Amino acid sequence: MASPVALIQGASRGLGLEFCKHVLKNKSLASVIATCRNPDGAAELRGLAEQHRGRVTILKLDVNREEDVRGAAERVKENFGRVDLMVNSAAMLHPSGKGETSLRDVSAQGIITTLTTNTVGPLIMAKYFTPLLQKGGGAFGQQPAEKAKQHSGIIVNITAKVGSIGDNGLGGWYSYRMSKAALNMATRNLSIELGRSRPKVVCVSLHPGTVNTDLSRPYHKNVPNDKLFSAEHSVNCLMAIINSLSIEKTGKAYNWDGAELPW
């Protein structure tokens, strides 16, 4: 089998950067394609690429620009020919950096911007990278002996528990909740279409828990210490789920501890 290829979208910091580190550390022959909006400003990511020469490819990609996604997919096709795992991790809470606490805080532009990054971006990534994921060798997840149930690549959309409609008992955070609920629908749709394809692609939404990143930092004071995870701990949990995935688990949302989340 050829060396695994993992593409991490939103790789300059937080969870995305940690996914890069994890794959490099735990998949000794894997290549990592790390995408971000501003590679020149991604010092830690560039340092990681320097440390793992020849294994990390950094691509400039803004998920809000479809031409960026198309161009990146063309380069990956040319240089790698396939992708085994794609993680869509870039996200924003709201352009202001704070979730709306009530209807009076809602603005059309705030919702549009949040939805564009959190929902439209991952779906456009799937549009252009699915042909490469269909050429993946199933290097991630579990492959059953039965050939008809084997998969090629895996798409992981990083969701949030607050995007669960069934779990919403508090309200607020209109833009972020709506963007993640819509992302979950995209995951479900993709799982149905790509579950029919030959070969099949597994598609899941994963909730990382409350992670010590820039996105959640304004709200850390409300989070108990034992519920605030380091990016490393969260990614370790999420990769354990990814490595256990099979086509039977496609189209669902999972918590960081592996429990299935209600839509």
Residues 6+ positions from 233 with CB-CB distance below 8 Å:
none
Q: How confident is the model over 93-119, as a mean pLDDT?
A: 95
pTM of the model: 0.93
Q: What is the spatial distance between Cα 210 and Cα 216, in angstroms, rounded to a whole number?
A: 7
Count other C-beta atoms under 10 Å from residue 105's C-beta: 16
Entry field: residues in the chain: 263
Which has more pLDDT, 248 or 262? Answer: 248
The whole-number average pLDDT for the span 195-222 is 80
Model pLDDT for residues 122-158, shown as the tens digit of each residue: 999 999 999 999 999 999 999 988 888 899 999 999 9
- Domains located in the chain, CATH noted: 5-261 (3.40.50.720)
Do residues 204 and 245 lie in contact, with contact meaning Cβ atoms separated by under 8 Å?
yes
40 phi, psi to nearest 5 deg = -65, -30
* Rounded (to 5) percent helix, strand, coil in the chain: 45, 15, 40
Number of Cβ within 10 Å of residue 50's Cβ equals 9
